[in-house]
Amino acid sequence: MAQPVISRGFRARPRLDAHQHRIPPGQHLVTDFPVLSAGPTPEVDLAHWRFSLRDGEQVLGEWNWDEFNALPQTEIKTDIHCVTTWSKFDTVWKGVTVDDLLRAAGRDGPPAPYVMMHSIGGYTTNLPSADIVNGKAMVATLFDNKPLDPEHGWPARLVVPHLYFWKSAKWISGLRFMPANEPGFWEELGYHEYGDPWKEQRYVGD
Amino acid sequence: MSVTSPTNPARTTWRVAEVVEVRDETPRVRTLKLHVSDWPGHKPGHHVDVRLTDEEGLQAQRSYSIATPPEEKMISLAVERLEDGEVSPYLAGEVRPGDRFELRGPIGGYFIWTVASGGPIVLIGGGSGVVPLVSMLRHRAAQKATMPAKLIYSARRYEELIFREEIDRLAASDPNLEVAYTLTREQPAGWQGGNKRLDKDSLAALVPAPNVNPQIFVCGPTGLVEATARFLVEIGHDRGRIRTERFGPTSA
């Protein structure tokens, strides 16, 4: 729209200059940690928890909870952005980068150009493989040095902080690489296939 | 590369919404009736993104559920005023007929029910989480649908029950609709409804048994939704039949 509609009598909160480059368009800063999920929080039994990397149907690597926690651990501090318009600064996550997972499976890099994230409970979300390697994504098991809260994805969730946070699948159970892009759960329902917050890619066509 | 979507095939463009009518529903909730140019239509449960722009060009965006059913030409949003909010004090306070802002939608596609989805349905709302559920009930009434429906509505106080008179009217005129309220903080003298937060026992008593296989929609603050969904699973309801939508305090 060329001319924005001015809302009479509305005064937006002043944005701190220091935040200008950290808050994407249409987002606002929060200090709590809101929850967004489409159904009940899954119950997970760590004794049966498995995380797998697959190329199509072929299993490249699979780890149980102890094996997963024995993989190299990385800590990141990052801002996160939810499509429902909140952003949160300086969140601290610890877990295993997708690079280290691929290495542990004996791979130099992703075996296919796209990837589907799969979660316990059936949630899925899709991405180009390039967006989860080279330090861009991890499977996190700790938030603020504590196990994740169940509603935030315990025991493990993906963290892809450069994209809207629905891409950071909670309760993740595996990554399935695929030759062509396919829509995941929200992507089927009209959400953007990529979800770059800096381009405000919230919905199809953005 | 493109993804085709059955529900939102086209781009969700910003449209101009003009306020036609404002109505105070409760001390903190106001309904805004809007004329939206070229509104593409919606289903019960959909929400919209609202974008406000101030005179200096600064903008703020928030999401609000649609309260009206698809059968109504104009859409209404029910906005709860959060005291420290940036947007809700404006929408639920300052706004008056003739004011304009931008809006786009419909958005969502999972927390959706139409009469074609069948029943029985159980709608569980906490606070302003009742808004999309009321859209479902209004749609059901407009379609004169007869599948069993139950609304379970938790609020803090009697005067905070949004759309109470209309809900009571719908229930009185429809033998297939049951309504149960619970008031968690304060109850008026002679109150017959529930008087505490929904718990496993009250949900087991209020929600049709798992063998009836109801579709269940739960919307409200995160704490209520988390607890309710967990109790429903413990009672034996199929996870796949429970759809949730959570309102954080940041939906201001």
What residues does A50 pair with on adjacent strands? A64
In angstroms, rounded to a whole number, what is the distance separating the alpha carbons of residues A155 and A149?
A: 8
Q: Which amino acid is at B142?
A: A
Say whether B63 and A85 touch across the interface (CB within 8 A).
Answer: yes
What residues does B91 pair with on adjacent strands? none
Question: Quick one: closest CA in A to B60, which residue?
Answer: A26
Tell me, what's the pLDDT at A171? Answer: 97
Tell me, what's the pLDDT at B5? Answer: 44
Output the domain CATH number for residue A173. 3.90.420.10
Going from the C-alpha of A125 to that of each of A55, A181, B108, the distances in angstroms are 16, 11, 15
Mutate to test the interface with A, among B1, B54, B215, B233 (most CBs of A within 10 A): B54
In angstroms, rounded to a whole number, what is the distance separating the alpha carbons of residues A162 and B19?
A: 36
Kind plus residue range of the DSSP H or E element containing B222: helix B222-235
Q: Summarize the confidence of residues A114-142 as an average pLDDT.
A: 97
Residue A60 lies in a domain: yes
Determine the distance from the C-alpha atom of residue A100 to the mean position of all C-alpha atoms in its chain, rounded to a whole number: 17
SS3 of A105, please?
A: coil
The boundaries of the domain holding residue A163 are: 47-76+92-199
**pLDDT at residue A21 tops 90:** no
Q: Which amino acid is at A70?
A: A
Q: Which amino acid is at A193?
A: E
In angstroms, rounded to a whole number, what is the distance separating the alpha carbons of residues B95 and B21?
A: 10
Q: How many domains does chain A have?
A: 1
Tell me, what's the pLDDT at B248? Answer: 57
Tell me, what's the pLDDT at B2? Answer: 40
Pairing state between β A86-97 and A28-29: parallel
Q: Is A144 exposed, middle or buried (0-12, 13-18, 19+ CB in 10 A)?
A: exposed
Tell me, what's the pLDDT at A17? Answer: 72
A204 chain-B contacts, CB cut-off 8 A: 3, 5, 8-12
A188 chain-B contacts, CB cut-off 8 A: 3, 5-6, 109
What residues does A185 pair with on adjacent strands? none
Residue A157 lies in a domain: yes
Residue A28 lies in a domain: no
Say whether B61 and A85 touch across the interface (CB within 8 A).
Answer: yes
Name the nearest CA neighbour of B95 among B19, B36, B28, B162: B19
Q: What is the ipTM of this complex?
A: 0.91
How many CB atoms within 10 Å of residue B208?
A: 17
Please tell me what DSSP assigns to residue B152. Answer: E
pLDDT tens for chain B, 252 residues: list them.
344 444 445 688 999 999 999 999 999 999 999 999 899 999 999 999 999 999 999 999 999 999 999 999 999 999 999 988 999 999 999 999 999 999 999 999 899 999 999 999 999 999 999 999 999 999 999 999 999 999 999 999 999 999 999 999 999 999 999 999 999 999 999 999 999 999 999 999 999 999 999 999 999 999 999 999 999 999 999 999 999 998 754 332
Angstroms from B153 CA to nearest CA on chain A: 19
> What DSSP string runs through A41-97?
PPP--GGG-EEEEEETTEEEEEEEHHHHHTSPPEEEEEEEE-TTSEEEEEEEEEEEE
- Give pLDDT tens digits for A44-73: 999 999 999 999 999 999 999 999 999 999
In angstroms, rounded to a whole number, what is the distance separating the alpha carbons of residues B61 and B52?
A: 6
Residue A20 lies in a domain: no
- Per-chain mean pLDDT for chain A: 95
The model's pTM is 0.93
Question: Quick one: closest CA in A to B4, which residue?
Answer: A188
> How many beta-carbon pairs under 8 angstroms link A with B?
154
Q: Are A15 and B57 in contact (CB under 8 A)?
A: no
Helix axes B130-142, B164-172, angle to 10 degrees: 40
As given in the structure block, the two tokens for residue B216 are: 């269940």
Mutate to test the interface with B, among A5, A20, A191, A202 (most CBs of B within 10 A): A5
Question: Quick one: closest CA in B to A128, which residue?
Answer: B1
Q: Kindly list the structural domains of chain B, giving each domain's residue range(s) and its CATH number in brackets, ordered by start.
A: 15-107 (2.40.30.10), 115-247 (3.40.50.80)
SS3 of A193, please?
A: coil
More confident residue, A97 or A30: A97
Place of tokens 């759809």: B243
Q: Are A159 and A76 in contact (CB under 8 A)?
A: yes
Residue A2 binned pLDDT confidence (cut-offs 50, 70, 90): low
Partner residue facing B59 (CB), from A26, A34, A40: A26
Q: Summarize the confidence of residues A107-111 as an average pLDDT.
A: 97
Residue A25 lies in a domain: no
In degrees, rounded to 5, the angle at the alpha carbon of residue B225 between the alpha carbons of residues B223 and B227 is: 65
Partner residue facing A204 (CB), from B8, B229, B248: B8
Angstroms from A113 CA to nearest CA on chain B: 13
Residue A30 lies in a domain: no
Residue A23 lies in a domain: no
Partner residue facing B100 (CB), from A7, A86, A189: A7
Residue A187 lies in a domain: yes
